[in-house]
Every structure is written in C-alpha cells, then in structure tokens.
Amino acid sequence: MSSLPLIAHRHPDAVMAWRGGTPVRVRQFLGEVDHVAGQLPPGRHVLNLCGDRYHFAVALAASIVSGRISLLPSSQTPESLRQMQRFAPDVFCVTDRADSGVELPLFHFPESQPESPAEPVIPQIDSDQVIAQLFTSGSTGMPVPHPKRWGSLVRGVQAGAERLRVTREHALVGTVPPQHMYGLEFTVLMPLQIGAALHAGHPFYPADICVALKDLPRPRMLVTTPYHLRMLLAEQSALPAVDLLLSATAPLSQNLAVAAETCFAAPLFEIYGCTETGQLASRRTTAGAIWQTLPEVHLRREGEAVWAEGGHIEAATRLHDDIELMGAADLTTDFAYFLLHGRHADLVNIAGKRTSLAYLNHQLNAIPGVRDGVFLPPPEDAADAPENVRRLTALVVAPELTPAALMQALRERIDPLFLPRPLLFVAALPRNATGKLPRQATQNLLASQRAPNTDAIPS
C-alpha cells in the first residue's frame, strides 16, 4: 500500500495560508485539522460548503484523515442538495456561515482554535483512498458521481504545478470556489501538495481581487476564469503586481491573453480539463492555440470520440469536446498536441459553468404544469469573444403556469447561470412525427417569438 503526505510543506512554521494579511502556519493548520476531525458528526459523507478557502481546506483535510468522502455537486440548488442526500443518506454539511439555508444536518466550522501542536506530524494518506466524489449533471436528471482517489489527485496537481512552474514560494489567490474540480485542484490541492500558500478569500469584485492580491507576498499567482479576467482588466487602474496567471473553465481569446500578459508583465497559462479527469493539458495562450497534454497523458481518437488516458488518469475517459489531434497519435512520445474546437452540441458552457441541454430539458419538463419545453443554446457568433457571457433561451408550453412561477420552480432545480433569458411561452413546440425538434423549425419559432416580444423576463 503506497501513501502520500497530506501536505508537502517541509517545516512546521512554513506558511500554508493567508487570511487577511495574517499568515497561517503548518502547525496551526495541522492542529485545526485534528481538532475538526475529532468533532465531525458520524456520517461518512461531507458536503463542504465553507466559504473561507482556509476553512474549506481544514474541513477537507479533516474529512480525509478521518476516512470521510467529500461530495462536490455541480451546483448548490435545493434540488442538487436533495440529490446528494439520496446518493448518501448519511451526508452532513460543513459550513462557516451563520445562515446556510441548507436543509441538511449542519456542522458549524468551530470558531475556537486549538493550541498548535509543538511537534506536528503530517498524516500519510493511502493513495487508493477515495477522498471525494465530484458530480457532473449527467443527462438523465440524476447527477453522475466521479470518485477521486488521493494518489491520482496528487499526481495530477503535481504535474500541473510543474508545467506551470508554480513553486513553494508562490502564494495563490483564487476567484473560483473550491467546490468544483478546477478550484479544488488549483486553489487548494496544488498549494497543499507543492508546499505553497493559499489565500483564504474568495474575492468577487475586481476591487476585492486587487485587495486579496495585495495581502500576499510575491511571487503571487492568480487562479481565475476568462470572465473574471475580463472584468479585472476592464478596471485598468491600480492593478497590483501578479507573477503568474492561470485561467480555465472556458477558452480565452488571444486578445484578452495578450492584454493580460502586457498588463501584468507575467505569463498567462490556460488549463484544459473536465470534472471527470481533472486537468489534462495546458497552453501559453499568447504563444498559440495548440494545447499540450500533461506528461504521459495521451489522447486517442475512436471514431467520433476522443479518449484521454495515462498520467494521473485512472481509467480511459471520453472527452466531451470537439478535439483535433495534431501530428501522429503516437504513444511513444511524452505529450500529445491538439486544438479545441468547442463543445459537443448537447453541452453548454455559460460563464465557465458546464452542463448538458439534456439535463436542463429534463429538469424543465419535470416541473408540474410544464407540458413540453426545450432549452436552446446561445446563438453562435464567431465575432464574439468567448469571455463574453451569453445566455440560454427556453421555449415552453405551460398554459397554467405564470412566468414567475415557472422561473421560481427552475431556480429550485438549476444553477442561476442556466436560467433562460428569455423564457418564451408558446402554444406548442414544432415536434416532427418522431417527436424530435428539427433545428430549422425551432429557429423559425424562436424568430417569430423574439420579434414582437418585450416582456420575456417576469418581474
């Protein structure tokens, strides 16, 4: 049985996090992990909703050392949380908020801090231990679990850190929550596994991001998304120094990448990956559009599908993007190179958050009073940069429902980013004899609806 340490810091007084302007040292972290692990309720499944990234890291580590599994659903709507309870009836929620609004057994992150141990011992974790289940929305209405083993996660983040040249000297600010794969890997596990420091905040506005960065010593790394990066650069004045930029969740335009590198005088990398596999490949966007896989990660085409395997990936995984492999798909080379041409037709990515139209349609049609309904992706517009956010449209047949009631029912079920804008009520959908919706007929209906309609969003 092989095992890997919980954290890679070399000294008990090394800084592993920054809260406000205050450093948190390894001995304090290990003391708190022990303290929290000893107080957790008996359930074996944990929904870690801590907003403070340091609290999240402590609760995650406490769950790991006590053999618990963290559940990370793709959204936190009431319906998603009920699904987590169906998946694991013993699940409880760890929160550091007074009013979580969550209808699950709650464990409040303890305010009191234990004394830091004089000679802390870094726990060793079995490489085969499943420490988390990350969920994708699937296509049937039931979320699909993806078990994550400790060894695979650690190998993945170490390979990513090496590629991006992140060192133990770095301190990281993340604008993404730690409750999804990208945030978990790059804002929590990576700093823990290379012995770097994470910023406890989850800054929201550009001004918050600037303050969080200024809290940190250099070199600083910003882990963000195309969307947050665009907002940050739009506030050109008084940007603090950043030494390394990382973007993921959706492709970045060349223009924005060049602007970011010029503005910060720092390299910008993008990571490509998915919930199923975690990170897979990277590119220095200003150097070109071609992605290079992480060491020993290979891609192989089988008919229409591209599969990823090797490296930290435990089992060959089918990718859901339209990928063009470059050169010979030769397993004797260390890397594969490819171009990304967007998502498959059923998949949507709104402001970096992904789901499938099938899932959204399932949720829409499960609402009492909805006789028929369909979500439509935003129109393709090649001139529009990918970091600009466009929304979904829904056509729905629900004569007994008001727009407000239907929106409220949807809000219970799907992430706010996927709520339709506009939501259009129609008498019937143009289904053909086989029950399918021909694209052209749907587009015609949409065009006829859009022209005169000005009251699509209910007030």
Residues that bind other proteins (CB under 8 A): 203-208, 211, 227-228, 231, 234-235, 351, 389, 407-408, 411, 416-417, 419, 421-422, 453-459
Residue 205 CB, nearest approach to other proteins (Å): 5
Shortest distance (Å) from residue 234 CB to other proteins = 6
- Residue among 211 and 266 whose Cβ is closer to other proteins: 211
Name the helix (H) or strand (E) containing 59: helix 53-65
Whichever of 103 and 324 has its CB closer to other proteins, that residue is 103
Q: Are 196 and 224 in contact (CB under 8 A)?
A: no
State which residue, 192 or 419, has the beta carbon closest to other proteins: 419
At residue 278, what is the residue type? G
Token pair in block for residue 456:
């699509």
Give every CB contact of residue 378 below 8 A, 6+ residues apart in sequence. Answer: 348, 350, 390, 391, 392, 393
- Confirm if 57 and 124 have CB atoms less than 8 A apart: no
CB of 227: closest distance to other proteins in angstroms?
7
Least Å distance between CB 283 and other proteins?
A: 25
> For residues 54 and 338, which CB has a smaller minimum distance to other proteins in the complex?
54
Q: Which run of H or of E encompasses 239?
A: none
Which own/partner pairs from 400-403 qualify as long-range (CB within 8 Å, at least 24 positions apart)?
400/369, 401/367, 401/369, 401/370, 402/458, 403/456, 403/457, 403/458
Cβ at position 393, least distance to other proteins in Å: 10
**Sign (positive or negative) of CA dihedral 244, 245, 249, 250:** negative
Nearer to other proteins, 35 or 411 (CB): 411
Encoded tokens for 264: 């910060």
What is the closest distance, in whole angstroms, from the C-beta atom of residue 182 to other proteins in the complex?
16
Closest by Cα among 363, 356, 369, 368 to 412: 363
Could you tell me the CA-to-CA distances from 413 to 80, 105, 149, 357 in Å, in that order? 7, 20, 29, 14
| Residue closer to other proteins, measured from CB, 156 or 174 | 174
Looking at beta carbons only, is 145 or 226 nearer to other proteins?
A: 226
Give least dist CB 223 to other proteins, A.
17
